[in-house]
Amino acid sequence: MPIATPEVYAEMLDKAKQNSFAYPAINVSSSQTLNAALRGFAEAGSDGIVQVSTGGGEYLSGPTVKNMVSGSVALAAYAHEVAKNYPVNIALHTDHCPKDKLEGFVRPLLAISAERVARGENPLFQSHMWDGSAVPLEENLEIAKELLALTKAARIILEVEIGVVGGEEDGVAHEINEKLYTTVEDGLATVEALGTGENGRYLTALTFGNVHGVYKPGAVKLRPEILKEIQDQVGAKVGKERPFDLVFHGGSGSTLEEIRAAVDHGVIKMNIDTDTQYAFTRPAAAHMFANYDGVLKVDGDVGNKKAYDPRAWGKAAEEGMAKRVVEACEHLRSTGTSLLA
């Protein structure tokens, strides 16, 4: 099917929340990783989200070009074409965008979608993230409020981060401390500034000990119960059950119990990057080790074209990543839930 329309994306998110499951949101940085994600979603019978970060956008434009908008537009155009071949719905999203990159990333992409919508077309991306975790909450929400008006006009969903995710991703780094836990007061300030949907739909990344990067289970204390506390208390205040559409960031190394608990409390999107990067690279590394004398021209030999052809190890890499996407769907209970099933 083609990339999800705004209406289909909204239906996807509503179904996830109503049925207590979440969509894996897979970061991609090439046509190969995109194809791997699409294959994984199709094999799981799950709709899904594919996303590109500022660094991913730069890489997609060419490592010497480093134009995050050009790379992101190219990825979206490619995705709109190849996604037609898969029997699931796919939404396109842009990941973490800090304040210093808004003018060079999200705002230009929003302008492109606004122009498309004005012509009667669908937006290029279905959602964009504003990462205001590095600025004071008041400023974070002021910017979010302005962006929400723009995304609503462009038929796009905004994602905001209320709290701090530890670790580092694409140059945005935070310490691992008490700031990793969003408070009820933060949640109340969010609905006061952005509303509960009447001003435009938004996804909320509330933090409960999340850390980007690689870590083993138990290394970081995740407290998914914080999500329930915020949903309950803010919900009571605004008269709406589970008012937030939640996003789980920094989930690598989380236990299945922690993941399922977060989903039970309203998480409908979980970002997955580190694990799928490894799942893609590991088979490629295995191929290189197993075909050492084929991929290298050892002692002046000519090597083995069948071994060093990028398609040889690329297929293995894509298969490995696709399997990890299938596993993510199982963990998040989205297997077999496609709107097209």
As annotated, the active-site residues are 95
Task: Number of helices (H) and strands (E) in the chain: give both, helices first.
Answer: 13, 10
Reported as type and span, the H/E element at residue 267 is strand 267-272
Q: Do residues 32 and 59 touch, judged by C-beta distance below 8 A?
A: no
Residue whose entry in the numeric block shows the structure tokens 């134009």: 67
| Per-residue DSSP letter, 253 | T
The long-range contacts involving 308-312, CB below 8 angstroms and separated by at least 24 positions, are: 312/287
Measure the CA dihedral 10/13/18/19, to 10°. 140
Q: Which residues contact 244 (CB under 8 A, 6 or more apart)?
A: 187, 190, 204, 206, 230, 231, 234, 266
Q: How many angstroms separate the Cα of 291 from the Cα of each of 277, 294, 318?
A: 22, 5, 18
Tokens of 4: 């999800």
For 170-213, the DSSP string reads TTEEE-SSGGGB--HHHHHHHHHHH-SSTT--EEEEE-BS-B-S
